[in-house]
Structure 1
């Protein structure tokens, strides 16, 4: 493999890993608080079509992004109400919302005199122009010429790492995820902490979804996320709930998504169908390795997926 192909794969990993980073960071803080949200892919789709629709109607990128974030946060607020307040099974509540949001994204994309499918919004997230910096051998295309969402994902990883590991609110999140009864006894409002971080996770998933329809592929098409929400969950598990490791995993998954196209460009004789399976095979392997890892218990939130009953503390 020549340098051009290698750089192309690395750049693809950064670009296609970017929405995975946002969604994974949101899911990571949610799971650290003890709540697993399996409806991420539906949230991403619903947010993507909502943001794209607003962009097509108003021509405003920022209003479109804000709409996607608000939609993601609202759906997650409903999930938090069901799973935390009403104590509905996290799995059942999430899967119900997944079916609803996925179906609604298809419906919203088809209705109206000018359906969003195939309709150009005229709005997209554009990369920064960095002049000759992108001409620097090897490092130029990797570090420069990206859009603000890509650079923002790097900052988000650093902030998430610092927040979880080096702040008092982050310490409360870890306490709630590991031993909610003891945290409640120490004065931590378990339900509030969980709900807030679930909503934050949904907002980030909404932003990640918007990046598909307004950045990577500035058009609306059904299933545009290609199950990225599920990949984000696998990333969190593979990273063992560590932000920096999740960033690396997102990069690997992002590169694998575009690996097939890159290999075809350089003339590799490999089945496209086989190459398209790579991200999902990686996801299965990552989950299996995490489940079988003897050190899993050192980082896994002990109360992950377990409803908290205050009266039983």
Structure 2
């Protein structure tokens, strides 16, 4: 029987606080913080609340095996647990444990991405309205990841240059992508409404947005400035889980995911489409149109072109362009 999470928190308050401090010092996201803390708690509970410094290779390997065999977790989930434990031992406990690097990672399946046809994208977009429609059109029109789109600030949209600046994307990299001209007018109108919402927040004594890292200390008033506001703010205020401050955060990604699921059902699309499917479709349709793969790589923010190469599978027709012998029979019959 596992102890409940609160008892683990009480048993190792200094350890978990140290984990939080190291994560925040390294500027990891709040989601990574929550995931790592959860896996460390589960690791401690699994071994009867023993302190991790009193455990080692055998316990880590047993825990990861338990997740795979009894827990039947996916390879990506098991690898996330391994990353959390690696962070705990290297960054928090500062223990030199060469065996930890040798713990084998679970092999993830090599699967081709789900891609919608242009007709399917059009049918999906026809089912959407309001802010969700604008966000989802932006995902397909720019190739942004869903969190990259939701974290956009007003200053990141350059209407004059027709560009969107993606700040601190995956791998902590910045990049520039296009702003679709067909979206510019709708996005301008949307920002007018957002600015009015921000004005009302300021009048009510609110209007301060979350700022990353040390910007809040460096520029104390920046959080209330228009340029730092989210392009897609939430309809309600919420409390920052780290600072406790009340801000207007951005729209939640779960809401966008639900909107796409419903639109897919309404459009009668028989594919498991998600927000990321629109990024896959963006890349695939650009390559189909003859754009250079290096350009697509840059727009997507891939470090290695081999990652972008997965989309070239659609450039060959089904079966890699080979004509089926059944179709050949039909061709020969038509000649006679």
Q: TM-score range by the shorter chain?
A: under 0.3
Structure index of larger Rg? 2
**Which protein has the bigger strand share?**
2
Normalising to structure 2: TM-score of the pair?
0.22
Pick 1 or 2: higher relative contact order, CA cutoff 8 A, min separation 6. 1
Q: TM-score, normalised by structure 1?
A: 0.24
Q: Is the helix fraction higher in 1 or 2? A: 1
